[in-house]
Structure 1
Amino acid sequence: MRHILVYGDSLSWGLVPTTRKRLGFEERWPGVLEIGLNSAEHNVRVVEDCLNGRRTVWDDPFKPGRNGQQGLAQRIESLSPLSLVIIMLGTNDFQSMHQNNAWLSSQGLAVLISTIRQAPLEPGMPVPPILIVVPPPIGIPKGLIAPKFMGGEEKSDGLAEVYKDVAIANNCHFFDAGSVVTVSEYDGVHLDADQHLILGWELVGVVTSILR
């Protein structure tokens, strides 16, 4: 059995927009991915490490542990051998408390790539390939999270392009989730259940080509 790590935030955790509820494993995209790969007889397990509010490399002044670099190398070490690491982060880099732009977020992504590749693996353990999945563009934030993401749609402009540049420069695989899904109209940030299904099944084909 091959193991795939999904390293993400609430968009991968399966937060139901405008609630604090979570979609079931078979409903959120990492679960859909696992089901789809196994239905094609790839014999994989998708391990989710998805934390609400996680950034690439920035701290949340209100909640500890949201800096994505912290502990990442140890996660890679503890879960090895891994056949693939999928990173889908970036949205929270544009919370209103941060003055980031797309380029700065892409530099945070580059740090995560380096951290994965420098993890202290046991002898003979492979350095896993990395798939960068850029989240869909932030919409107009609505509801209780509106103040948290105020201005996020402008600050994150161009994220797919600069993430792709980082992926190419670091020899990573790349997929633009915004090419197939959109954020929820209810909160402008998260994914509705139907979008999880679409993204998960789209990634089945992407991941299959990588595993081959």
Structure 2
Amino acid sequence: MATVLCYGDSLTWGTVPNGGRYMKPLRWTSILEELLGNDHQVINYGLPGRTTIWEDPFRDGRNGVSYIQAALETFGPVDVLVLMLGTNDLKRHFNVGAFEAAKGVEKIIERVRMPNSQDFPSPSIIVVAPPNITEPTGDMAETFSGAVEKSQYFHQHYQNMAMRNDCLFLNAAGVLQASTADGVHLDTNGNEALAKALVPFIEKLLG
């Protein structure tokens, strides 16, 4: 049995558009585990608000690069790491774009491949470019001001970065769209689509 660690933000955690958390069976990580035949352990380590490398002045503990090694040791040895981060990097107060978000994911990959105190081998990595942000609603319209256009470049910058770092790459925008309810998070169809799209990648890595 292999261990697949899914390291992400609210899209991985299972945030319901406009509030709440999906029940466990509806989260893409749980669907993925079921599609793999329950032969492998799929761990959901999503955290709402998590960024790639940025410290959020409004929410503590959201810097993704700071916690990745602890996560790998906590759940290790990890065979496959699924990285889907960057949506929160586009919040207005960070003032960065998809290029910087991709560079942030690259820093996480570098940290993943550093030696660890348990001597666990480095996992295979699947980089997932987050889905495009469409039409943020409510408070998120202010939080993600300017992010709709920036998110259109996730695919390009993430794919280039993944190739440069010998990672598999999946463009989430190619298989799903953000919920029309809030323009950011995944609806149930999006969760299912992402899980299905990841299956062949993981099966390829695990043989």
The TM-score range, normalised by the shorter chain, is over 0.9
8 A contact 2:5–2:82 mirrored in 1 = yes
How far apart, CA to CA, are the structure 2 residues paired with 1:181 and 1:33? 15
> What letter matches 2:71 in structure 1?
R
How far apart, CA to CA, are the structure 1 residues paired with 2:199 and 2:15? 21
8 A contact 2:102–2:158 mirrored in 1 = yes
Q: How does 1:84-99 map to 2 (within 5 A)?
A: 84-99=80-95
Deviation of 1:73 (Å): 1.0
Name 2:107's counterpart in structure 1: 111
Name which of structure 1's ranges 126-135 and 137-146 shifts more when overlaid on structure 2.
Answer: 137-146
Name 2:204's counterpart in structure 1: 209
- How many matched pairs? 207
Which blocks of at least 5 consecutive residues in structure 2 are unaligned?
A: none
Name 2:190's counterpart in structure 1: 195
How far apart, CA to CA, are the structure 2 residues paired with 1:196 and 1:102? 22
How far apart, CA to CA, are the structure 1 residues paired with 2:70 and 2:117? 9
Deviation of 1:159 (Å): 1.1
CA offset digits 1:121-148 (Å, max 9, x no partner): 424x321110001111111211232211
Q: How does 1:84-163 map to 2 (within 5 A)?
A: 84-123=80-119, 125-163=120-158
8 A contact 1:4–1:82 mirrored in 2 = yes
Q: How does 1:155-174 map to 2 (within 5 A)?
A: 155-174=150-169
Name 1:27's counterpart in structure 2: 26
**Secondary structure in 1 matching 2:25:** coil
Deviation of 1:119 (Å): 4.4
How far apart, CA to CA, are the structure 2 residues paired with 1:37 and 1:121? 30
- Runs of 4+ displaced beyond 2 Å: none
- Larger helix proportion of the pair: 2
Deviation of 1:156 (Å): 2.6
8 A contact 2:168–2:201 mirrored in 1 = no
Query: Equivalent of 2:42, from 42, 46, 58?
Result: 46
Deviation of 1:177 (Å): 0.8
Q: Residues 145 and 17 (structure 1 numbering): CA distance in 2 closer, same or farther, change over 3 Å?
A: same
8 A contact 1:73–1:119 mirrored in 2 = no
Q: TM-score, normalised by structure 2?
A: 0.96
CA offset digits 1:4-44 (Å, max 9, x no partner): 1000000111111012x1112211111110010026xxx10
How far apart, CA to CA, are the structure 1 residues paired with 2:23 and 2:115? 31
